[in-house]
Structure 1
Amino acid sequence: MNSRGRVLIAEDQALIAALIEATLDEEGYLVTTVHSGSDAIAALGGSTPPFDVLVTDIRMEPGPDGWTVAAAAREARPEIAVVYMTGDSMAAWRARGVAGSVLLAKPFVPEQVLAAIAGLLEGRADP
C-alpha cells in the first residue's frame, strides 16, 4: 500500500495520541508520534523526507505549546498542513493559529482528524 503522506502527531495524552495514530495508520498514513512540544520540534527538524501534516495539541506539558510547534513547522516547511486539537483554547485560534490551519475541539472522533487532514491536503494540491 502506498503512503497517503507523513504525519507527525504531537499529543501529551498517550491514549488520545494512540487513538489518532491507529486511525491514521489504518488509512495508510506514515505516522510518527511524540509526547511533547520539544520532541515535536526536534522531529520536524530531523525528518527526511519531511512531514506533510502536523497534528498538534495546543496545551502540552512539558515544553513548547502547539502554537509554538506549528509556527516552527511552518518556518521549516511553509506548505505543511496543520491540525490543532484543544479542549480549551478555541478562542485563541484566530489570533495564534497559523494560516490555513484547522482546529478540532476535544472531544472529537478520529474520523474528524481524517476529514481535516484530507481537506487540508486536497486544498494544498489545488492549482
Structure 2
Amino acid sequence: MPSGRILFVDDNFICSLENCENLREQGFSVLPAYNALAALEHIKRHPNLTALVTDIDLGPGDDGFDVARWARGAYPGLPVVYISGTAGARHAAEGVCGSEFVAKPFNPQQVVDALSRVMHAKAA
C-alpha cells in the first residue's frame, strides 16, 4: 500500500517529526506543514499529492477542516485523515466526505491503517 506523497499538517513540531518519520519508514514521501497557510502553499505547489493527514486544531487562523476543503478543491477525492486530541466530535459534521479520524494520542500504526482505508476506498 505505501507509496505516494502525503501532506502531513500538525502545529506540534514533535508530533509532526515523529509521524512524518514513521510514514517515511512505511514507504511514503512526506511533506510536513506546521500551519494552515504552509499547508495551502504545499497544496498549490505540489501537483502530485496522494493523501492528506491533518491535525484539526492548528493554532490561530484556519483549521484542519479548512485545509482539507482546500485540498479537495485542488485534488477532488483526495484521501483525508484527520488527527486531533480535542476536536473529534466535530469530524462527523465538518470533515470532508469519506475521511477518517484518529484521536490523539495514537499509535503511529493507526494513522497508517487509516491512510490505507481511505486510499483503498478512493481506488474502489
* 1:10-51 CA-partner distances (Å, limit 9, x unpaired): 100011101110111011101000100110011111103x21
Structure 2 SS opposite 1:52: strand
Provide the aligned length of Structure 1 versus Structure 2: 123
Q: Superposed, which structure 2 residues align to 1:1-127 within 5 Å?
A: 4-48=3-47, 50-126=48-124
2-structure distance, mates of 1:125, 1:78? 13
Q: Give the letter aligned to residue 84 of structure 1.
A: Y
Q: Distance in 2 between matches of 1:85 and 1:16?
A: 11
Moved over 4 A (4+): none
**1:45-76 residue CA offsets vs partner (Å, 9 max, x unmatched):** 1103x211110000012431001000111111
Name the aligned partner's letter for residue 35 of structure 2.
S
In angstroms, what is the RMSD of aligned CA positions? Answer: 1.1
TM-score, normalized by length of structure 2?
Answer: 0.95
Helix, strand or coil at the partner of 1:114: helix
TM-score of the pair, normalised by structure 1: 0.93
Q: Percent identity?
A: 35
